[in-house]
Amino acid sequence: MDPQTRIEVLPGVGDFYAKRLAKLDIKTIVDLIYHFPFRYDDFSQIESIARANTNEKITIQGTIWQIKNIRTPRGKFLTTATVADESGTIEIIWFNQPYLTKTLKAGTPVSLSGKLDPKSPRPKLVSPSYEVLRNQSPVTSHQSPNTLHTGRLVPIYPETEGVTSKWLRAKIGAILPFYVKTLDDFLPKEIASRQNLEDLESSLTKIHFPKTYDDVEEARKRLGFDELFLTQLASAIRKREWLSQKIAPQIKISQSDLQNFQNNLPFTLTDAQKKAIEDIVSDLERKTPANRLLEGDVGSGKTVVAAAAALAAYKNNFETILAAPTEILAFQHQKTLSEIFAPYGIQIGIWTGSKKQKGDITCGTHALLSTFKSQKQIGLVIVDEQHRFGVAQRAKLFMDQNLKLSPHVLTMTATPIPRTLALTLYGDLDLSVLDEMPKGRQKIATFVVPNFKRQGAYGFIEKQVQEGRQAFILTPFVEPSETLTSVKAAKVEFENLKGKFSKKVKLGLLHGRLKSKEKEEIITKFKNNKINVLVTTPVVEVGIDVPNATVMLIESAERFGLAQLHQLRGRVGRGEHKSYCFLFSDSRSENSIKRLKSMEKVHIGFELAEIDLKMRGPGEIFGLKQSGFFNFKIADITDQKSVAAAQNEAKKLLDSDPRLKNHLHLKQKLESVSSEYSQPN
């Protein structure tokens, strides 16, 4: 059975279900098999009807005596049935499922799992899961028959409209026995033995249809290790290829030049910034190209660190290009670097879809990939917010320039990724972390605001405007990029807000679908306080620096990760005035509100990322699937011991078999998952 067979060819799927399954990222047979349960209903306790008097989840197996539909006075349907086994009878009731009488008829042996109604004087099961027992008699022992939906640990899957866990169980149950028989276990036996791991066939069977919770743990251990091991193996291979095949320009800068650079800054560098500059300068002196990730919170001063590296390249007569994911951010970098390098007379260029001007250091967007040609050797490539570029795009930034030497690469991110997670995701990069904030950065007073206090929040904003301050009102978006839906939401909110403020308050609207010139005009007006309140989508997450803005109001805050909320909050509090962040939420989930409440107390991005990691998992926070990473479905990537074990095994394997010539199944598996997650965004 070919794992890459399209899902629509399976019996009972077709185009109708294929479209729905695509929403769950299920497009092939292997996607279906690797669509893992997130929990299990324990229906393994099979009782006789006579003993069914507990409030536990139980399974009863018997024969239907009678079944009928009853129409209520309000026009709804009740389906009632009487089921009997050798010990007695029990009443069953389902709501609004009249079709059941076509499937379940008198004389049919059935298995029923659920909870007894504690209020009923006689044993009664309400809305139980059901399953027809085919080719077997009902049992009353504690041994489960060969059932899928009852009488066992029943897997519950992530669902979507029209695709239930019961539907998924049936399809996976039908195909899994054939799929596992065709498997070639890609994990070398010696590694599985050292790590005490199950074989792949057994693990896939146990994750979907375990007999016990021990089965679940054994399966999760093996399948989780697979994800970590493949990630670490891919990272280690990339790093070895990077170091072995390329020669970089040796870039040296004197300590006196670095000291003069620091002396010319209007602020004092933090110890973390000084250490990061030291690491990068050391990288640049080598013949092998640097490949370093600079990770730092909003306002931690990454650009200044990058500027020191760019100065070193300039002093050695090499060009630097800085790639940003948006025009707003590219222009912001040009402005910041122009200010930093004003004493040196260094020209800072800009290269975007709307404006093209070369400099000694050139900031730009994706246009750098296609139309920019350097005047001389590029010594340094800086990629900002690198997770927004696909892997292939990042490679293209410094592979397609036809250069004699490979430039050094410095990637930056303001997404505060915990160190363990960063080492897992960016195993091929050296890591520098800016975990100190520059002196003078204020804490932003943050409040999770109930909807009934909304008018009070608008009144507060109006008062701030009267005092000469400005505000952001941010509408949510769901997709990883600007969409028509998010733009529409911003436009609707913009119209609604016109009636919430006095005519003295000048409103502006900013979203990612505006033309570059329009965006620039709006941002300029906002910076000059010609716009007092900017209604915007998360396009403001990076790049807009308005020290006079003191309020950030975020709608539907539950849709954002804490790390992203922290970045959005960082758009205010950049000047001398006390600043505020108001978080509104439509969610009634206690867990969701608790998560948002952590924003009120915690003001360090790395701590918030840790909280979110525990509460939501990595994929939700960082959008890893869209970022060219493996899609971690089951691995605990915060488990340092497991990550270290995977790293060590990957290194050991590559030391003995660098090109995986003796591990062809592993090589094929690695190529298949790498190609899936290496596409540009």
Question: What is the 3-class SS of 485-529, one letter each residue?
Answer: HHHHHHHHHHHHHCCCCCCCCCEEEECCCCCHHHHHHHHHHHHCC
Residue 184, token pair as written in the block: 């070639």
State residue 630's pLDDT score: 55
- Report the DSSP pairing between strands 507-510 and 533-536: parallel
Q: Residue 416 has what pLDDT?
A: 73
pLDDT tens figures, 215-243: 999 999 999 999 999 989 988 888 888 77
- Rounded mean pLDDT of the chain? 85
**Amino acid in the structure at residue 132:** V
pLDDT tops 90 at residue 638: no
Alpha-carbon distance 579 to 439, whole Å? 17
Q: Is the confidence at residue 543, as pLDDT, over 70?
A: no
Nearest Cα to 543, choosing from 334, 266, 305, 268?
334
Tokens of 509: 């609207």
pLDDT at 399 over 70: no
CA atoms in the 13 A half-sphere facing the CB of 91: 11
pLDDT value, residue 540: 63
Backbone angles phi, psi at 169, to 5 degrees: -60, -45
**Fold topology of 255-434:** Rossmann fold (3.40.50)
pLDDT on residue 396: 55
CA dist 25 and 158 (Å) reads 11
Residues 106-121 have a mean pLDDT of 88
296: pLDDT confidence band, cut at 50, 70 and 90? confident
Q: What is the pLDDT of residue 387?
A: 53
Answer for the pair 39, 156: CB distance below 8 angstroms, yes or no.
yes
Q: Is the pLDDT of residue 63 over 90?
A: yes
Residue with tokens 């690797």, as numbered in its chain: 34
Model pLDDT for residues 388-397, shown as the tens digit of each residue: 554 445 555 5
Answer whether 112's CB lies under 8 Å from 60's CB.
yes
Report the distance separating Cα 445 and Cα 553, nearest Å.
12
Q: Of all helices (H) and strands (E), which one includes residue 408?
A: strand 408-413
663 pLDDT tier (thresholds 50, 70, 90): very high
Of residues 550 and 639, which shows the higher confidence score? Answer: 550
Rounded CA-CA distance 348/333 in Å is 9
- Residue 385's pLDDT is what? 74
- Confidence (pLDDT) at 83: 95
Q: Count of alpha carbons within 13 Å of 325, Cβ hemisphere only?
A: 24
Mean pLDDT in residue range 296-312: 89
Give 93's pLDDT tier (boundaries 50, 70, 90): very high
Do 385 and 412 form a contact (C-beta atoms < 8 A)?
Answer: yes
245-249, 282-286, 443-447, 647-651 — which is least confidently predicted? 245-249
CA distances 667 to 50, 110, 189, 223, 426, Å, are 57, 47, 15, 17, 20
Q: How confident is the model at residue 627 (pLDDT cuts 50, 70, 90)?
A: very low
Confidence of residue 429 (pLDDT cuts 50, 70, 90): confident
Average pLDDT over residues 420-444: 77
The dihedral sign for the CA sequence 395, 401, 406, 411: negative
Residue range 311-327: mean pLDDT, rounded:
92
pLDDT, tens digit (0-9, with 9 covering 90-100), for 447-497: 999 888 989 999 999 999 999 999 999 987 534 444 545 455 678 888 888
Question: What does residue 36 show for φ and ψ, rounded to 5 degrees?
Answer: -90, 150
Q: Which of 152, 143, 149 is nearest to 110 (CA)?
A: 149
Sheet holding 430-434, edge to edge: 356-357, 348-351, 361-364, 319-323, 378-384, 408-413, 291-296, 430-434
For residue 57, which phi and psi values (nearest 5 degrees)?
A: -70, 125
Q: Bridge partners of 381?
A: 321, 409
CA dist 369 and 53 (Å) reads 70
pLDDT, position 230 = 93
- DSSP, collapsed to helix, strand or coil, labels residue 432 as strand
Instruction: List CB contacts of 650: < 8 A, sequence separation 6 or more.
Output: 229, 232, 233, 235, 236
Please indicate, yes or no, whether the overall pTM of this predicted structure exceeds 0.75. Answer: no
Q: What are the CA-CA distances from residue 338 to residues 344, 349, 363, 529, 659 (Å)?
A: 10, 9, 11, 23, 46
Q: What residues does CATH 3.40.50.300 cover in the chain?
A: 255-434, 445-602
Q: What percent of the chain has pLDDT over 70?
A: 88
Q: How far apart are CA 355 and CA 357, in angstroms?
A: 7
Highest-confidence range of 139-143, 380-384, 444-448, 496-500, by mean pLDDT?
444-448
Rounded Cα gap, residues 93 and 246, in angstroms: 71
Confidence at 623, pLDDT banded by 50, 70, 90? very low
Contact 273, 303 (CB under 8 A): no
- The band of 116, judged by pLDDT with boundaries at 50, 70 and 90, is confident
Angstrom CA distances, 544 to 78, 466, 649, 667, stand at 59, 22, 44, 45
pLDDT by residue (tens digit) across 117-155? Answer: 888 888 889 999 999 987 655 544 444 457 889 888 999
- How far is 79 from 92, CA to CA, in rounded Å? 8
Residue 442 DSSP class: P
Average pLDDT over residues 519-531: 90
Distance CA(112)–CA(127), nearest Å, equals 9
Indicate whether 53 pLDDT > 90: no
**Integer angstrom CA distances of residue 637 from 246, 412, 469, 624, 647:** 31, 21, 43, 12, 12
pLDDT tens digit string along 150-202?
888 999 999 888 899 999 999 999 999 999 998 899 999 999 999 999 999 99
Q: Which fold has domain 445-602?
A: Rossmann fold (3.40.50)
> Which amino acid belongs to residue 129?
S
For 532, the 3-state DSSP assignment is coil
Looking at residue 257, its pLDDT comes to: 94
| pLDDT tens string 75-92 | 888 999 999 999 899 999
| Domain 41-156 listed as CATH 1.20.1070.10 | no
Q: What is the pLDDT of residues 486-496, one digit of tens each?
A: 455 678 888 88
Give the pLDDT mean for 527-553. 85
Identify which has the larger pLDDT, 624 or 611. 611
Compare 675 and 22 and report the one with higher pLDDT: 22
Task: For residues 501 and 490, give the distance between their C-alpha atoms in angstroms, rounded to a whole number.
Answer: 17
The residue to which tokens 């716009």 are assigned? 531
